[in-house]
Amino acid sequence: MLLYLATANQKHLEKHPECPINKLDIQYKKDRKIYVAMITADFYNEANRPQQKGMFQFFDGVFLSKKAKIKDLKNLSEIIEWLNEIY
């Protein structure tokens, strides 16, 4: 479903009839915020490519398991600090 939402061509306006929120009848009562994070090993050094960076924007946090200095991506060792900020 994440891939479907990420590749939808609509303007992502909730009022738009073709928006996935309307097509799939997604309803969620927001008692609390849900965070979605991704951990990747980046074996092929692709995390800095535009396609990958675009995909990472759908996550609240993205962590690399190897040391790297890529803007907006954190090293896996920082995940505890990130979780402590949330909770």
Look up the pTM and report it: 0.64
24 and 50 share a domain?
no
48 and 87 share a domain?
yes
pLDDT in tens, 54-81: 888 888 899 999 877 787 789 999 999 9
C-alpha distances in Å from residue 75, one per residue of 1, 7, 29, 44, 51? 27, 27, 32, 16, 20
Going by C-alpha positions, the residue among 66, 5, 71 that lies closest to residue 36 is: 5
9 and 37 share a domain?
no
44 and 68 share a domain?
yes
pLDDT in tens, 5-61: 666 665 655 567 777 777 777 777 778 888 889 999 988 888 888 888 888 888 889
Q: Provide the residue range defining the domain that includes 82.
A: 32-87
Give the count of domains, the chain: 2
